[in-house]
A and B are shown apart, each in its own frame.
Chain A
Amino acid sequence: MLFDALTLQLGYNVTLVMLGAAALGMAAGGAGTYLFLRKRALVSDAVSHATLPGVGVAFLVMVLLGGDGRWLPGLLAGSALTAGIGLLCVAALTRRTRLTEDAAIGAVLSVFFGLGIVLLTIVQTLPLGRQAGLESFLLGSTAGMLRSDALLIAAGGVVTLLAVATLHRPFTAVAFDPGFAQATGQNIARIDLTLMMLVMAVTVVGLKVVGLILIVALLIIPPVAARFWTDKAETLALIAAALGGLSGYVGAGLSATAPGLPTGPIIVLVAFALFALSFLAAPGRGVVALALRHRHFQHAVHLRQGLLAIASEQPIYEALTMRILRREGLVRADGVPTDAGRGRAAKALRDETRWQVARGTEHLSGLAARHDGLTEIETVLTADQIAEIDARIATPVEVG
């Protein structure tokens, strides 16, 4: 069943929704990256919660005008309107008062959401309202979706994705160095505004698929996951878009395979699974790689200290050091150094002395500063330089 879904064999609507969710996820991952780099990830939470009253108002207006009320483009237009108002409220509260941005975000999201719930309860009392299914905007629901709605979502996802792709240059510039971007003639306020409009577009398109409570996850999780794979902004946006697209595609497919698998939460959990994978397995910043590096470093330090102790004929009390020396065949089981151990110890001591001299020599001290106590001296200094150092060790320098 899952295989059928992933190979797009579950019918035209499911296919459309999956492709739409993939495009939406890619757009969200891309736009979310710049939001994340601007350290404003949670602003999107206020924006998404602020869509709810718009949905209610749009429904009521359409019913008052004699329409059906469930016309998706109308509902989405309404949601975009109040999302915009919510965004303006966050901006006004942070700029005009002394409240901080987090308080403004929390206030806007809870109040707009509360108002939205009030409007939903009004909608439910209308004769038409009971079947309106506006609750599906909370957590997303793609089951039994109209053909036209699926088309709208697919198209919306593609358009937002194209917008992110077109605008990635100015976004990167502003996210990285706002001062430099301004100096080169970029209008920061306008670029920030554009980014927020894109976030709004992602939210609105995602309402029906992911739902307004969880859409923020598509904007936040992919960039955070991508951060484990790279340090470059452009690559970060690409990886985030790929992870977001994959979450949308797989999540929407998975949710179509069985009942009781709500689309929004499934997409979010797929995104989190990708995050967990990145967190653990990414080379460089992943936890496993970090742990391995730490072990390697620990091993090197213990080995070197052990060798220096052998060279100066001091007893070794540290159990881990002893274990490492024994495993390397440098020390016998009874703690007496082997010949190989004595040889390595003598080299360690000689290199340590060489480093000390190098540090005291003016033209070598810069290179010696790179010495963390573990690097082999031959990998930093040339044979000539080592010969020069050895000469100094042999002939005492005049003091005075």
Chain B
Amino acid sequence: MGADFVALSIVPLVIGVLAAVACALPGNFLVLRRQALIGDAISHVVLPGIVVGFLVAGVAGTWPMLIGATAAALVAVLMIEGIQRLGRVEPGAAMGVTFTTLFAAGVLLLEQSDTSSVHLDVEHALYGNLESLIWIDATGWGSLVDLQALAGLPPELTRISVAALGVVAFVWFAWRPLAVSTFDEGFARSMGLPVRAIGIALVVVSALAAVAAFDAVGSIIVIAMFICPPAAARLVTNRLVAQVAWSVGFAVLSAVAGYVLAGYGPIWLGFGNSVSAAGMIATVSGLILAVCAIAGPARHATT
């Protein structure tokens, strides 16, 4: 637990935790608003956006990715609304048409273009490369205060930190309108709150969190963290503040336990190789949800 740990594990752990929290926070409101599958849709749609961003810009930088993903999310929202309105189709089906099509287009674009020079392939998009985000310049714990070494931190860390901060700020400052419009839309409207704008803002913030997290950890963690920690927290408590706090706790626990189990679990069991950290984090969050579904004090609906 010395220099190796700092160089190999600290950065992925921190990124995993930040990504989990950034997704779990807006996830609380998505789950309560019955929009849980928006996270699923967003994480599929991000792929074509990132591919197009890369093809247009020629490099896999932050801005092309961000702009591409945002544009793709916008296209998706327009498609879903259009199909729903003009086709008079339920939202779930409209969403299904949209995200499968855009994802298929993304995969086809990837296969047809030369992206071998960058980390851009379908597997990476699905389960990320958390394990490879190592801190090469780190020589030991002392590197944490060494400016030169800190400059060599992977850029993914900066992106997810900014995104996580943005999400926390959004939830903090928009807490009251978010909470009121989530629980009682009619009441919120009568108070003069811009209900529609709040809903859109929530989706946009979720999309930003998804894009930043997707880059570092892949789409499985994004979907799992949008839904599992908030859903588990909802089965533990009836109060929104407590639910959000629990969900953050569950997200951190999933990220840390998942990462450690994936990296060291097989070694403890006598196998040489580690397993996918992203997959393990999702699995742990599922186990937490299972425990809460069986024994959570607030698992039944209050009547």
Contacts and interface: CB of A to CB of B under 8 A. Distances in A.
B276 A120 contact: yes
Looking at A92, A117, A279, A290, the one whose CB has the most chain B CB atoms below 10 A away is A117
Identify which of B104, B285, B298 gathers the most chain A CB atoms within 10 Å of its CB.
Answer: B104
Contacts of A42: 37, 92-93, 95-96
Interface residues of A, number: 60
B146 to A, nearest CB: 34
A216 B276 contact: no
A125 B86 CA distance: 50
B107 to A, nearest CB: 4
Given A109-B223, A269-B108, A115 B100 contact: no
Contacts of A39: 90, 92-93
B36 A100 contact: yes
Contacts of A272: 97, 101, 104
B90 A41 contact: yes
A116 B279 CA distance: 7
Contacts, number: 205
Given A42-B37, A45-B40, A223 B93 contact: yes
Interface in B81-128: 83, 86-90, 92-97, 100-101, 103-105, 107-108, 111-112, 122-123, 126-127
Contacts of B88: 227, 285
B231 interface: yes
B293 A221 contact: no
* Dominant SS among interface residues on chain A: helix
A110 B126 CA distance: 11
A97 B279 contact: no
B13 interface: no
Nearest to A104: B231
A324 interface: no
Contacts of A98: 234-235, 298-302
Contacts of B275: 118, 121-122
Contacts of A290: 86
Contact of A114 (B107, B220, B298): B220
Given A96-B299, A265-B111, 5 more contacts: A100-B34, A113-B223, A116-B279, A122-B275, A221-B101
24 contacts: A92-B293, A96-B293, A98-B234, A98-B300, A99-B231, A100-B34, A103-B231, A106-B37, A112-B286, A114-B221, A114-B282, A115-B279, A118-B279, A120-B279, A138-B122, A214-B103, A214-B104, A224-B83, A224-B96, A224-B97, A264-B104, A264-B107, A265-B108, A290-B86
Interface of B: 31, 34-37, 39-40, 44, 83, 86-90, 92-97, 100-101, 103-105, 107-108, 111-112, 122-123, 126-127, 220-221, 223-224, 226-228, 231, 234-235, 262, 266, 271-276, 278-283, 285-286, 289, 293, 296, 298-302
Q: Which 6 A-B pairs have the closest CB atoms?
A: A114-B282, A111-B286, A117-B279, A217-B100, A265-B104, A220-B96
